[in-house]
Amino acid sequence: MTADRDEPFAALETRIGHVFRSRALLAEALTHKSALAARQPRRASNERLEFLGDRVLGLIVARRLFDSFPDAEENSLAPRLNALVNRAACARAARRVDLGAAIVIAPSEEADGGRDKEAILGDACEALIAALYLEQGLEAAENFVMRAWADEFDTVDGVRKDAKTALQEWAAAQKRNLSYELIERIGPEHAPRFVVEARIERAEPARGEGGSKRAAEQAAAAAFIIATGIDG
């Protein structure tokens, strides 16, 4: 690895408070698939690590919610989990540590604003969590998540069980229209997953996922509240 390439990695390590023993693992976590053909076709992209990181993140957040809401039922915890464990939340966490500056991407993708694209940032953030987990265990991954998601946790602690009602009340008070749109239906027929987007005038939409449209709408409402920091 060249000194020029190593500098953004070292700067990122300073920002996240962890120096990797394996720079190869860190490089894999930060390598977008667009860079492979253009640079090193034999290097792995971060897609496999992203898969693992998503599960590690889910465990960490689920445990945090389980401990923080000892009296909450599953139908109250699930929307909070789905609001915190999704691509948009990962992208926001990535921006907090300026992860985009260290991502390895093709020049064409960089010219197209790839370092700030939600999908690229979200995937790289999950891959970084996986790399931390593989190198030093769950504690290292958890330390990163607790720091990068701190603002999200502070907000979700105040999200009421019925996030849809809270968001509807806020939108009405602001005299803004609120709507929900089904973005996609994924998974097998016996266990479908729904992705829904909450949309409010003059605001960035927020997405949520759930095993039913209703659950996905609740998750989207919670995600909107968390992302915008509104007082639900």
Q: Which residues form the catalytic set? A: 54, 126
E strands in the chain:
178-186, 193-200, 206-210
User: Which residues, 6 or more positions from 203, have their beta carbon under 8 angstroms from its beta carbon?
Assistant: 176, 224, 228
Sheet holding 206-210, edge to edge: 178-186, 193-200, 206-210
183 phi/psi in degrees, rounded to 5:
-90, -45
Q: Residue 91 in contact with residue 50, Cβ under 8 Å?
A: no
Cα separation, 48 vs 126, in Å, equals: 10
196 phi/psi in degrees, rounded to 5:
-125, 145
User: Which residues, 6 or more positions from 44, have their beta carbon under 8 angstroms from its beta carbon?
Assistant: 28, 31
